[in-house]
Amino acid sequence: MNKCCCICEKNMNEEKKPWMILNHEYNNQKVTYCCSYICSKRIEHVVGKYYSHKVINKEDFNMLFPILNDKNETDNFNLDIDYETIQDEIDEEERIFKMEEEFYDSCDGYSSEEFYE
């Protein structure tokens, strides 16, 4: 039986390997073939939304399936935190916020009519 892409129906011979092979019955075939990345973006219309468990050629994909990493995730974070600098920035933001509040509170006594007279 011919290998045929389930999306674009392109025939794939022995020279061209399918992009994705799924354990899903389609067009009287026991497996479903997808010829390219572009077609694979629309394959959920044929095999359903969650199909990763049906993929036969999993070794061809790095991103389709989770790759377990044994590294400790704290290696990615910089633990040299300067708490004093952070606190200074917070204090400065609070000071500016307080000044803005005082400014807007002092403007509440004026009405727009007085401004244009």
Cα dihedral 32, 34, 35, 41, rounded to 10, equals 170
Q: Helix or strand or coil: residue 16? A: coil
Predicted local confidence at residue 52, as pLDDT: 81
At residue 97, does pLDDT exceed 80? yes
| pLDDT band, very low/low/confident/very high, at 80 (cuts 50, 70, 90) | low
At residue 85, does pLDDT exceed 80? yes
Predicted local confidence at residue 103, as pLDDT: 83
Domain boundaries, the chain: 3-60, 74-108
Predicted local confidence at residue 101, as pLDDT: 87
At residue 92, does pLDDT exceed 90? yes
What angle is formed at CA 63 by the lines to CA 71 and CA 38, rounded to 5 degrees? 165
Predicted local confidence at residue 63, as pLDDT: 63
Instruction: Report d(CA 54, CA 21) in Å as an integer.
Output: 8
At residue 99, does pLDDT exceed 70? yes
Interval 88-106 mean pLDDT: 88
The pTM of the full predicted model, rounded to 2 decimals, is: 0.48
For residue range 35-64, list pLDDT tens digits in order: 888 888 888 888 888 888 888 888 887 665
